Amino acid sequence: MAAFISWTITTLDHVIEDGVVQRIHYAATATDGVLSAVSYGSVNLDPPCSTIVPYSSISEDLAKNWLLNKLSAPVALSIENQLVAELNERKRPTKANGLPWAG
């Protein structure tokens, strides 16, 4: 089964006076069956250079679009690949930790 990747906006930091969003916090999640891996992060947005979208009019899809545009496709793909690699490591571990004398 291939991993399913989802991007979720966890919160938006914005200026109360004008509603301008300054930072987007996100979670990228990869799921494969019962296994999942999550990467949390945030990006700062540049100040708007044209029309300001009223805070109450910002949809999740619009915020995701801003996020993915700011991250760029190569960075988003790198995050997704890291999550898939983490899932693969959990399915077929190549490393372990512990103390051999602890039983």
Please indicate, yes or no, if residue 102 is contained in any of the structural domains: no
The residue written with tokens 């300001």 in the block is: 52
Please indicate, yes or no, if residue 34 is contained in any of the structural domains: yes
- Extract the tokens encoding 85: 């690699």
List, for residues 7-58, the tens digit of each pLDDT value. 999 999 999 998 899 999 999 999 999 999 999 999 999 988 788 898 999 9
Please indicate, yes or no, if residue 101 is contained in any of the structural domains: no
List, for residues 72-94, the tens digit of each pLDDT value. 999 999 999 999 999 999 999 99
What is the structure's pLDDT at 48?
82
DSSP assignment string, the chain: -PPEEEEEEEEEEE-TTT--EEEEEEEEEEEETTEEEEEEEEEEPPPPSSPPPPGGG--HHHHHHHHHHHH-HHHHHHHHHHHHHHHHHHHS-------GGG-
| Residue span of the structural domain in which 84 resides | 4-91
Please tell me the distance from the alpha carbon of residue 15 to that of residue 21, in angstroms, as a whole number: 7
Please indicate, yes or no, if residue 54 is contained in any of the structural domains: yes
Please indicate, yes or no, if residue 32 is contained in any of the structural domains: yes
Please indicate, yes or no, if residue 103 is contained in any of the structural domains: no
Please indicate, yes or no, if residue 63 is contained in any of the structural domains: yes
Q: Count other Cβ atoms within 10 Å, centred on residue 24.
A: 23
State how many domains the chain has. Answer: 1
What is the structure's pLDDT at 74?
95
User: What pTM did the predictor assign?
Assistant: 0.86
Please indicate, yes or no, if residue 43 is contained in any of the structural domains: yes
